[in-house]
C-alpha cells in the first residue's frame, strides 16, 4: 500500500536513505576488504586498488579484473568478463529507471555510478511504498548510495593498506575464488541456475589453459545456454 | 600507476557505468528482447562459477610455493568446507572464514603428518 504522506519519515529523505541502507553495510565489508587486498597481494600498488574502486565501483568485477590482469589475460577477456559480471545492472537499471529518469542528466549520471545491489534493493522497496516526488526520491537514493560508496571505498582502502603487511604465507589470494564461490552460491535459486553454474564452471576448468583466458568467457556462455536449455526443457516436459 | 593499467581500469569503469546507466539514461528508447532478459538470469551463476573452479585448481596456493607441497591440494578441502559452511549458514562471512580455515587446517595437518 502506498503512503500518501511522508510525515512518518523519521528523517529527511537523504537521512532516511542513509539509515535504510545501514543494516546492509556489514555484508559489504568483507568484499570491500578483499577487493582492496587482491591487487596488492597480486603485486600491484595500493593506489591501484583505490583506482579500481573509484573507477569501477562494482565489487566482484573489480576482483575479477585484477585476477585476469595478473594472469596477463587479453584486454578483451578482461573487458568482457567485467561486462558479464555486471550484466545484472541492466535489470537494476530497468527497474529503477521509472523513478529516476526525469532527473537532470548530471544527476542521472551520478545515480548510474552509485547504483549498487544494496541501493537498488532498498530504493525499489521504499519507492513502491512511499509517495515521494522526484526531489525526495533523488535525495533518498543519494543518501543510501553515499553510505554504500563510503563504506566500499573505506574498506577497499583498509584492505589495500593491510595487504602490504599481511604475509604471503597466509595465502589470502585464496579469498578471490572463495568470495566468488559465495556470490555464485547466492545466485542459485532453481535447478536451471545450478545447471548454468555446473556447466559454466566445468567448461571453464576444462579450458583453463586456453590462450588469453578465453575459457572463462566460453564457460560462461556455455553455462548460460545450458541454463536456458534446462529451463525450456523443463517447461516443455511440465506442460 | 602504469598508464596501460589505468586505461584497462578506465575502460572497465566506463563499461560498468554504461550498464548501470543503460535504462536510467535511455528508458524511452531501450527495450530488452525476451530471450535476452531470459539469458540474463543465468549469467551470474555461469560467469561466477567459471571464475571459481579454475581458481580452485589452477596453479598452486602461495602456501605451497612457500612452505612445500602436501598430498592433497588444500584448496580443494578449503572449498569443500566453505561449501558445507554455506549450506549450513547461508552467510558470507562464516563461509569465507571456514574456507580459509579449511585451507590452512588441511595444509598444516598434512604437513605435520608428512614430516
- pLDDT tens across A15-24, in order? 999 998 888 8
Taking CB atoms and an 8 Å cut-off, how many pairs form between chains A and B? 273
Domain boundaries of chain A, sorted by first residue: 13-172, 188-239
pLDDT at A236: 75
Residues of B in contact with A81 (CB under 8 A): 47, 51
> What are the start-end ranges of the E strands in B3-114?
none
pLDDT at residue A4 in the model: 44
Angstrom CA distances, A183 to A61, A133, A205, B24, B53, stand at: 12, 35, 18, 26, 13
Q: Which pLDDT value is given to residue A71?
A: 85
Q: Give the DSSP H/E element, type plus range, for residue A43.
A: none
Looking at residue A8, what is its pLDDT? 53
Nearest-angstrom CA–CA distance, A39 and B7: 16
Cell of A164: 602490504
Range 24-43 of A in CB contact (< 8 A) with B: 27, 30-31
Cell match 569503469: residue? Answer: B13
ipTM of the complex: 0.89
pLDDT at A5: 45
Nearest to A169 among B41, B67, B92 (CB): B67
What pLDDT does residue A137 have? 96
Q: Which residues of A touch B44 (CB under 8 A)?
A: 85, 87-88, 183-184, 187
Of A77-86, A87-96, B81-90, minimum mean pLDDT range: A87-96
Output A238 or A80, whichever has higher pLDDT.
A80
Residue A2, pLDDT above cutoff 60: no
Q: How far apart are the first and last CA of chain A?
A: 35
Res A53 pLDDT > 50: yes
Which of these, A92, A211, A154, A69, lies nearest to B44 by C-alpha position? A92
pLDDT at A144 over 90: yes
Q: Where are the domains of chain B?
A: 1-30, 32-114
**Residue B31 above 90 pLDDT?**
no
Provide the mean pLDDT of chain A. Answer: 89
The tens digit of pLDDT for each residue in A194-208 reads 999 999 999 999 999
Least CB–CB distance from B25: residue in A85, A112, A187: A112
Amino acid at each position: 500500500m502506498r503512503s500518501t504522506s511522508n510525515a512518518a519519515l523519521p528523517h529527511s529523505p537523504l537521512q532516511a536513505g542513509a539509515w535504510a541502507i545501514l543494516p546492509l553495510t556489514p555484508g559489504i565489508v568483507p568484499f570491500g576488504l578483499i577487493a582492496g587486498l587482491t591487487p596488492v597481494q597480486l603485486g600491484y600498488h595500493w593506489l591501484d586498488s583505490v583506482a579500481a574502486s573509484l573507477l569501477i565501483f562494482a565489487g566482484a568485477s573489480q576482483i575479477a579484473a585484477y585476477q585476469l590482469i595478473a594472469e596477463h589475460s587479453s584486454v578483451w577477456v578482461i573487458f568482457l568478463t567485467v561486462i558479464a559480471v555486471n550484466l545484472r545492472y541492466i535489470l537494476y537499471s530497468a527497474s529503477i529507471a521509472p523513478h529516476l529518469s526525469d532527473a537532470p542528466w548530471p544527476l542521472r549520471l551520478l545515480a548510474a555510478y552509485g547504483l549498487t545491489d544494496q541501493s537498488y534493493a532498498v530504493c525499489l522497496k521504499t519507492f513502491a511504498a512511499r509517495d515521494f516526488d522526484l526531489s525526495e526520491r533523488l535525495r533518498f537514493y543519494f543518501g543510501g548510495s553515499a553510505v554504500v560508496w563510503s563504506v566500499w571505498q573505506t574498506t577497499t582502502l583498509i584492505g589495500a593498506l593491510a595487504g602490504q603487511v599481511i604475509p604471503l604465507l597466509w595465502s589470502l589470494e585464496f579469498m578471490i575464488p572463495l568470495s566468488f564461490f559465495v556470490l555464485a552460491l547466492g545466485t542459485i535459486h532453481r535447478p536451471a541456475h545450478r545447471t548454468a553454474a555446473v556447466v559454466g564452471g566445468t567448461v571453464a576448468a576444462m579450458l583453463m589453459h586456453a590462450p588469453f583466458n578465453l575459457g572463462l568467457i566460453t564457460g560462461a556462455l556455455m553455462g548460460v545456454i545450458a541454463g536456458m536449455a534446462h529451463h525450456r526443457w523443463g517447461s516443455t516436459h511440465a506442460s | 600507476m602504469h598508464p596501460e593499467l589505468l586505461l584497462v581500469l578506465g575502460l572497465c569503469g566506463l563499461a560498468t557505468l554504461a550498464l548501470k546507466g543503460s535504462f536510467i539514461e535511455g528508458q524511452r528508447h531501450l527495450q530488452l528482447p525476451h530471450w535476452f532478459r531470459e539469458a540474463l538470469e543465468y549469467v551470474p551463476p555461469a560467469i561466477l562459477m567459471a571464475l571459481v573452479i579454475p581458481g580452485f585448481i589452477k596453479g598452486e596456493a602461495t602456501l605451497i610455493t612457500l612452505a612445500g607441497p602436501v598430498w592433497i591440494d588444500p584448496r580443494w578441502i578449503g572449498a569443500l568446507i566453505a561449501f558445507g559452511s554455506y549450506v549450513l549458514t547461508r552467510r558470507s562471512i562464516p563461509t569465507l572464514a571456514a574456507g580459509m580455515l579449511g585451507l590452512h587446517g588441511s595444509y598444516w595437518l598434512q604437513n605435520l603428518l608428512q614430516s
